[in-house]
Amino acid sequence: MLAYSRTKSIGVQMQGPGRRVVSGILEDEMYGMECQIAVSWPELVIESVQARMKRFTTTRCPRAMEVFTLAEGWKLDHELDGRIKKEIGRNGCRHMAILMVDCCRSLARAEFTRELRSALEKDPTLDKSEFVTLFFERYPTLKSYLNLQ
């Protein structure tokens, strides 16, 4: 019987009030890669990126580590996913590009969850619908990034 297993893990860390670091790992029989993306908060601009390729299938894949730094200065907005896939995926490794997209989306979700949890601790009767509206008023770029407009 054939068996295939893929693990993808993404973690988001707060490093002070103005910085978030997202770490992503993808592991399976063919691919082994990691990325770390530092993002300024609430500006939502990628400050730095690091990549590490452990296992890959083509000679083009390791070039992702070189082109990955192109993302420094990019903003988490409605164009980011396409830009990552085009500029990093096509010129480097599409698996690394998808891992980066997943990391950026996880950051948006983690921040929403973190703020919701904090708001609920302060006010257990919080109107969640109103919270969503206020959250995306504070971070309109996230609303467009997550295609919620």
Compute the distance between CA of residue 102 and CA of residue 93 in angstroms, rounded to an integer. 14
Q: 131 or 4: which carries more pLDDT confidence?
A: 131
What does the buried/exposed string (b/e) look like for 56-90 if buried means 16 or more CB atoms within 10 Å of the residue's CB?
Answer: beeeebebbbebbebbeebbbeeebbebbeebbbe
d(CA 11, CA 20): 10
Please tell me the distance from the alpha carbon of residue 46 to that of residue 26, in angstroms, as a whole number.
Answer: 20
Locate 82 and state its tokens: 């396409």
Cβ atoms of 71 and 98 within 8 Å: the answer is no
Q: What is the mean pLDDT of the chain?
A: 89
pLDDT of amino acid 8:
93
Provide the pLDDT for residue 5.
Answer: 84
**Kindly report the CA angle at 147 between 93 and 105, in degrees rounded to 5?**
45
Question: Percentage of residues in the chain with pLDDT exceeding 70?
Answer: 97
